[in-house]
């Protein structure tokens, strides 16, 4: 479970981000995603969905759900890479902080619950995954809090 959530998901996100360097279509996405909100919202939706224990179980049991897992995380990375430059500093901090909060909440749930949430994983794997999610939450929260503050002039120039 920990390899699934703590390594595979971030690597799929990074692979989508890297693919954005070679794939065409950035201009089209810029028309639909003017301020970067659509891409950031897609990343949030993908993250929320794959934090659900039933989604993790189904990804192991159903090949179609496994394909959905790979494609959704990869496309989230692609969308994030193309949306990130258009997001203001405040929106970046908001989405990073929101994701950190969500990871911390899920991590505490996985770590502290006394029942097994995922049928396909052992209880000790669930506990380790919860600790790892809390680590990722602290890392993202630190990034969100220490992000470079933009001057009003820089914010206006981004728009």
**115 vs 113: CA distance, rounded Å:** 6
Is residue 120 within 8 Å of residue 57, measured between CB atoms? yes
Is residue 99 within 8 Å of residue 47, measured between CB atoms? yes
156, burial (CB in 10 Å: exposed 0-12, middle 13-18, buried 19+): exposed
Residue 151 pLDDT grade (very low, low, confident, very high; cuts 50, 70, 90):
very low
Summarised one tens digit per residue, pLDDT across range 95-150 is 999 999 999 999 999 999 888 888 888 888 889 999 999 999 999 988 888 766 55
Domains of the chain by residue range: 2-158
pLDDT of residue 77: 94
Structure tokens at 89: 């500093």
The whole-model pTM stands at 0.84
DSSP string of 67-96, one letter each residue:
HHHHHHHHHHHHHHHHHGGGS-HHHHHHHH
Residue 152 pLDDT grade (very low, low, confident, very high; cuts 50, 70, 90):
very low
Q: Does position 27 have pLDDT exceeding 60, yes or no?
A: yes
pLDDT of residue 88: 87
């Amino acid at each position: 479970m920990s390899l699934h959530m703590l390594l595979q998901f971030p690597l799929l996100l990074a692979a989508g981000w890297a693919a954005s360097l070679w794939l065409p279509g950035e201009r089209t996405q810029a028309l639909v995603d003017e301020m970067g909100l659509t891409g950031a919202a897609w990343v949030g939706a993908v993250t929320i969905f794959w934090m659900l224990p039933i989604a993790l179980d189904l990804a192991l049991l159903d090949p179609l759900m496994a394909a959905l897992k790979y494609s959704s995380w990869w496309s989230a990375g692609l969308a994030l890479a193309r949306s990130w430059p258009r997001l203001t500093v405040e929106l970046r901090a908001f989405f990073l902080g929101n994701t950190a909060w969500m990871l911390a909440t899920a991590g505490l749930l996985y770590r502290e619950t006394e029942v097994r949430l995922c049928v396909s994983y052992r209880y000790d794997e669930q506990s380790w995954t919860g600790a790892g999610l809390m680590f990722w939450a602290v890392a993202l929260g630190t990034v969100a809090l220490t992000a470079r503050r933009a001057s009003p002039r820089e914010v206006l120039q981004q728009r």
